[in-house]
Structure 1
Amino acid sequence: MILSDSIVALSSGRLPAGIAVIRISGPKTRFVVEAIAGGMVKERAAAYRKLIATDGSVIDHGVVLFFPGPGSFTGEDVAEFQVHGGRAVAAKMLETIAGFEGVRHAEPGEFTRRAFLNGRLDLVETEALADLVNAETEAQRRFAVRNAEGAQSELYAEWRRRLIHARAMIEAEIDFAEEDDVPGSVSDAVWSDVRALIGEIDRHVDGFRAAEIIRDGFEVVILGAPNAGKSSLFNALAKREAAIVTDEPGTTRDLLEVVLDLEGMRVWVTDTAGLRAAPGKVEAIGIEKARAKAGGADLLLLLEDMALPVDPGAVPSDAPLLRIGAKADLVAGELLVDRAKLYDVVISIRTGTGLSDLLAEVGRRAAASVGEIGDVLPSRLRHVELLKDANDHLRTALAGHERGQELRAEELRLASDRLGRITGAVDVEDMLDVIFSQFCIGK
């Protein structure tokens, strides 16, 4: 796709910085390089040049790179100017470049959108690129890199090829049943493969929860009776005084959250109000919030004061549970040994006992919840919705013996259409603005 205008943006991080990268893409790129750098530079090679404004003044001295289309990120001619990362330098470069006729400032995600429109990326790879830019943990990075390299797209493309082949065989059987080169009664083989494909898609969709945990985080909720040591543990994990700690029951009344990086996983830890019967009116609201939060948790940490155990009542969730014996420094001797047997982990915030063991166990469970990071998983809810829609059409085709082969073939077409929409192999104009608006300007 040939676009008439060129776009420019700051593609590096927040200024000031050591270096600012100004990127331009489009048909005016070569002209801009020649005008600012005093002549053309060698393709795909860094050149150190004096950078000149239109009035002849020197903007800066910097590195210029030129990537001719279609072998560039966007598929168009692309250039990058690497200059000193002061705000004034970057602003002058952007002002100068955008001052040329046919060049304008880029919208969010417009470089990546052009890469998609020019066939350099499909939609799944585009979304994976957004995930890579936003990755904060090792698990997120690895997951995004695998999808950006095309693993997810290849899976959907292979499923779509199988459906197109199945549809071709069914339609050939309908139209050319008398021809010698059309296999006799291909239906059994086709519908057997469709049945297998339904199972493959179902298993793939089941992996979406693991993908959500990688992208959004593993939810850990701390529960327990008042004064069990929940807020003290929360502060120890946060490594700061994030929660108020007092001897007065009911101090914590709202949800407090902190994000940890454990075993390369993003882990959300939430401190909650103490669970007890007959609380005050305000405290009751906090307890209700705690119960609601626990209902959506991936792991519960149920704390109990080992010196003065108090039963918090029924645990408001079916999530996996770790029983934590807190305040171990207040118990000694045989009593400590006996009571320690009641818990999965024994800790003392005051002495630091057991905290590393607790963090290791939470990290292990977080990593186990997503399986192998190398598994191909649906990375977006829209993927899941389209996959389920495709499977609905496949099930209709599989069950439609009495409807005739023509209608069953149409269901196969609709299913392959849904798979194509995931990668953008068929018309997806209605969702492009939503997808690319998630990117920062300059990407």
Structure 2
Amino acid sequence: MWSFRRCLKTFSQDPLKKWINHHVRETIFALSSGHGKCGVAVIRTSGPASQEALHLLTKWQALPPPRQVKLASILCPKSGELLDRGLVVWFSGPHSFTGEDCCEYHVHGGPAVVSGLLQALGSLQMLRPAEPGEFTKRAFQNGKLDLTEVEGLGDLIHAETELQRRQALRQMSGELGQLYQRWSQQLIRALAHIEAFIDFSEDDNVEEDVLVAVDEEVKKLQKELEEHLRDNRRGERLRDGIQVVLTGVTNAGKSSLLNVISQKPTAIVSSIPGTTRDVVEATLNIGGYPIILSDTAGLRDSEDPIEREGVRRAKARVEEADILVAVIDVSDDLLSQETLLAHLQNLYSSLQEHEPKNVIVALNKVDLLSQESVVNLEKLCQEFGPPTVCLMSCHTGEGISTFLRTLKDHLEAICGDPLLGAPSITQTRHRHHLTACLDALGHYGVHRQQDLVLSAEELRIAHRQLGAITGRVSAEEILDIIFRDFCIGK
């Protein structure tokens, strides 16, 4: 367990580690733009030798002004051969992405030009190729980004929809990290007060009222954490894709609906029952929301072992669905209005584990019905209530636009707008550490009246769990609060 005196020992070691990391840092280089032929390619260097490399490649005697674009003839440092004429941007540390001296070379994006410049940089002994993600890793190590901002940057690079972009930008701006950092500061303060009470209460330097304040702070933080975790996983769903599963009996039109929404022949469509044996997926963008649309095997009893396995997988995928689309063939001659109502009610009962608001019933093949039957179905749908019922025809396209609007409404209800309200949890890793933090705060209350040292340890565990999310945990912060709030030793 840590105490005030152990914190002092840690405090004396950390600055030395920082000094060593700063002065033995190697200079790295890499292509920062995409691979392949393009108009412009960006090659970046970062580290203490970036300045020397710039002089060797351009023959400039002085550094250009920081963050200003300069045209340069870029030369091979050994032969002096002209590699390209491009733009050079110099960034003086710590005012750069990585916090180190950096230089960017904006050259023509032909493979030969890029390869020539990379070979030229590789020929310099003080430079080495960067490892994957090393520029961002250095930005984190130098305090330019915390881990949540790093993850937000990665999400932004991989964002495929508008709402994924918004969520990633919000996280990259540091809003999520700032929330966790605020909670972390509250824990640091509470822990510092308990540490001071344990070490100095016998000298009458710390009053018992401070423990009451800590208890109130812990209860307040518990409530905020519980509310933050009750978010229906909307941030994670938006980041990874919302699972939308098509289910129903054979030949209901599930594969046809998948193809219509995908606007391409993703799944095989046949009049033969049981054509779909496995789960067929399509990744789509519906109104800015990323979805993983799954077509599953028709639900029926079968003697075919392959089809039985397909049905088993279909049922497993139904259990994992965020939104379930139950497809029903309404052209069946045996499906009268009364039996359809009973069918819907039975379907609703079988889907009790899914909230009605997350189930859409798609009544397919209405093009095969008379106008009177369609009108009766519409009245039935209005009376039935949740789950939402849509009439459609995958063959003619009738009702598909209405179905897509309904699906978008369901997606919006699940994920919302990532720019509104408090920032969302976007990673399973965050949820794991937040849950562990909340558990530790619960254990604090258990130990509080029995053993103050154990309760302090639970606060330390909770603080460590929050620090694991942002990557920032320091014993120096605890020391700072002890000295500031209590003036121990004057």
The C-alpha deviation readout for 1:236-261, integer Å capped at 9, x for no partner, is 11111111111111111111111111
2:297 corresponds to 1:252:
no
- Is the 1:222–1:272 contact (alpha carbons within 8 Å) kept by the matching residues of 2? yes
- Is the 1:208–1:378 contact (alpha carbons within 8 Å) kept by the matching residues of 2? no
What is the TM-score when the length of structure 1 is the normalising length? 0.91
Instruction: Supply the distance in 2 between the matched residues of 1:257 and 1:184 (Cα, whole angstroms).
Output: 61
Q: Mind listing any 5+ residue stretches in structure 1 that lack a counterpart?
A: 428-443
Instruction: Supply the distance in 2 between the matched residues of 1:208 and 1:423 (Cα, whole angstroms).
Output: 22
Q: Is the partner of 2:209 in helix, strand or coil?
A: coil
Identity of aligned residues (%): 39
Q: Is the partner of 2:415 in helix, strand or coil?
A: coil
Equivalent position of 2:50 in the other structure: 29
2:470 corresponds to 1:423:
yes
2:74 to 48, 51, 70: 51
2:90 to 66, 69, 73: 66
Aligned alpha-carbon RMSD (Å): 2.1
- Is the 1:140–1:215 contact (alpha carbons within 8 Å) kept by the matching residues of 2? yes
User: Mean Cα displacement is larger for which, 104-113 or 407-416?
Assistant: 407-416
Task: Report 1:206-221 matches (<5 A).
Answer: 206-207=230-231, 209-221=233-245
Q: Is the partner of 2:312 in helix, strand or coil?
A: helix
Instruction: Supply the distance in 2 between the matched residues of 1:288 and 1:129 (Cα, whole angstroms).
Output: 39
Task: Report 1:6-405 matches (<5 A).
Answer: 6-39=27-60, 40-54=63-77, 55-177=79-201, 182-207=206-231, 209-278=233-302, 280-308=304-332, 309=335, 315=350, 318-319=353-354, 320-343=358-381, 344-374=389-419, 375-405=422-452
Letter of the structure 2 residue corresponding to residue 243 of structure 1 = A
The C-alpha deviation readout for 1:178-200, integer Å capped at 9, x for no partner, is 77874552322321221121121
Deviation (angstroms), 1:277: 3.0
Instruction: Supply the distance in 2 between the matched residues of 1:376 and 1:179 (Cα, whole angstroms).
Output: 44
Instruction: Supply the distance in 1 between the matched residues of 2:169 and 2:285 (Cα, whole angstroms).
Output: 19
Deviation (angstroms), 1:136: 1.1
The C-alpha deviation readout for 1:5-40, integer Å capped at 9, x for no partner, is 211111111211111111111111111112212314
Equivalent position of 1:433 in the other structure: none
User: Mean Cα displacement is larger for which, 307-316 or 261-270?
Assistant: 307-316
Instruction: Supply the distance in 2 between the matched residues of 1:206 and 1:119 (Cα, whole angstroms).
Output: 31
Letter of the structure 1 residue corresponding to residue 353 of structure 2 = D
Instruction: Supply the distance in 1 between the matched residues of 2:448 and 2:147 (Cα, whole angstroms).
Output: 35
Letter of the structure 2 residue corresponding to residue 22 of structure 1 = I
What is the TM-score when the length of structure 2 is the normalising length? 0.82
User: Mean Cα displacement is larger for which, 397-406 or 77-86?
Assistant: 397-406
The C-alpha deviation readout for 1:305-364, integer Å capped at 9, x for no partner, is 121148697546723311111111111221111123444111112221111111111112
Instruction: Supply the distance in 1 between the matched residues of 2:201 and 2:308 (Cα, whole angstroms).
Output: 73
Instruction: Supply the distance in 2 between the matched residues of 1:119 and 1:197 (Cα, whole angstroms).
Output: 26
- The 1:275–1:316 alpha-carbon spacing in structure 2 relative to 1, beyond 3 Å, is farther
User: Mean Cα displacement is larger for which, 397-406 or 298-307?
Assistant: 397-406
Equivalent position of 1:440 in the other structure: none
Instruction: Supply the distance in 2 between the matched residues of 1:401 and 1:26 (Cα, whole angstroms).
Output: 49
User: Mean Cα displacement is larger for which, 351-360 or 186-195?
Assistant: 186-195
- The 1:341–1:279 alpha-carbon spacing in structure 2 relative to 1, beyond 3 Å, is farther
Q: Is the partner of 1:252 in helix, strand or coil?
A: coil
User: Mean Cα displacement is larger for which, 213-222 or 389-398?
Assistant: 389-398
Letter of the structure 2 residue corresponding to residue 19 of structure 1 = V
Tell me which of the two structures has the higher relative contact order, counting C-alpha pairs closer than 8 angstroms and 6 or more residues apart. 1
Instruction: Supply the distance in 2 between the matched residues of 1:304 and 1:84 (Cα, whole angstroms).
Output: 56
User: Mean Cα displacement is larger for which, 168-177 or 42-51?
Assistant: 168-177
Instruction: Supply the distance in 2 between the matched residues of 1:95 and 1:171 (Cα, whole angstroms).
Output: 56
Equivalent position of 2:25 in the other structure: 4
Letter of the structure 2 residue corresponding to residue 26 of structure 1 = G
Instruction: Supply the distance in 1 between the matched residues of 2:396 and 2:122 (Cα, whole angstroms).
Output: 61
The C-alpha deviation readout for 1:361-416, integer Å capped at 9, x for no partner, is 11121121123413322222222222222222211111224423233222222221
Equivalent position of 2:479 in the other structure: none
Instruction: Supply the distance in 1 between the matched residues of 2:188 and 2:69 (Cα, whole angstroms).
Output: 46
- The 1:419–1:157 alpha-carbon spacing in structure 2 relative to 1, beyond 3 Å, is same
Letter of the structure 2 residue corresponding to residue 425 of structure 1 = R
The C-alpha deviation readout for 1:264-302, integer Å capped at 9, x for no partner, is 110111111111234533222111111110110011111
Instruction: Supply the distance in 2 between the matched residues of 1:195 and 1:352 (Cα, whole angstroms).
Output: 55
Answer 1 or 2: which has greater helix percent: 2
The C-alpha deviation readout for 1:190-243, integer Å capped at 9, x for no partner, is 212211211211222233721220111111111122111111111111111111
- Is the 2:71–2:88 contact (alpha carbons within 8 Å) kept by the matching residues of 1? yes
Equivalent position of 2:4 in the other structure: none
Instruction: Supply the distance in 1 between the matched residues of 2:352 and 2:96 (Cα, whole angstroms).
Output: 51
Deviation (angstroms), 1:89: 0.6
- Is the 2:236–2:428 contact (alpha carbons within 8 Å) kept by the matching residues of 1? no
Instruction: Supply the distance in 1 between the matched residues of 2:260 and 2:168 (Cα, whole angstroms).
Output: 31
Letter of the structure 2 residue corresponding to residue 392 of structure 1 = D
User: Mean Cα displacement is larger for which, 64-73 or 258-267?
Assistant: 258-267
Deviation (angstroms), 1:4: 3.4
- The 1:95–1:157 alpha-carbon spacing in structure 2 relative to 1, beyond 3 Å, is same
- Is the 1:306–1:339 contact (alpha carbons within 8 Å) kept by the matching residues of 2? no
User: Mean Cα displacement is larger for which, 365-374 or 264-273?
Assistant: 365-374
User: Mean Cα displacement is larger for which, 335-344 or 74-83?
Assistant: 335-344
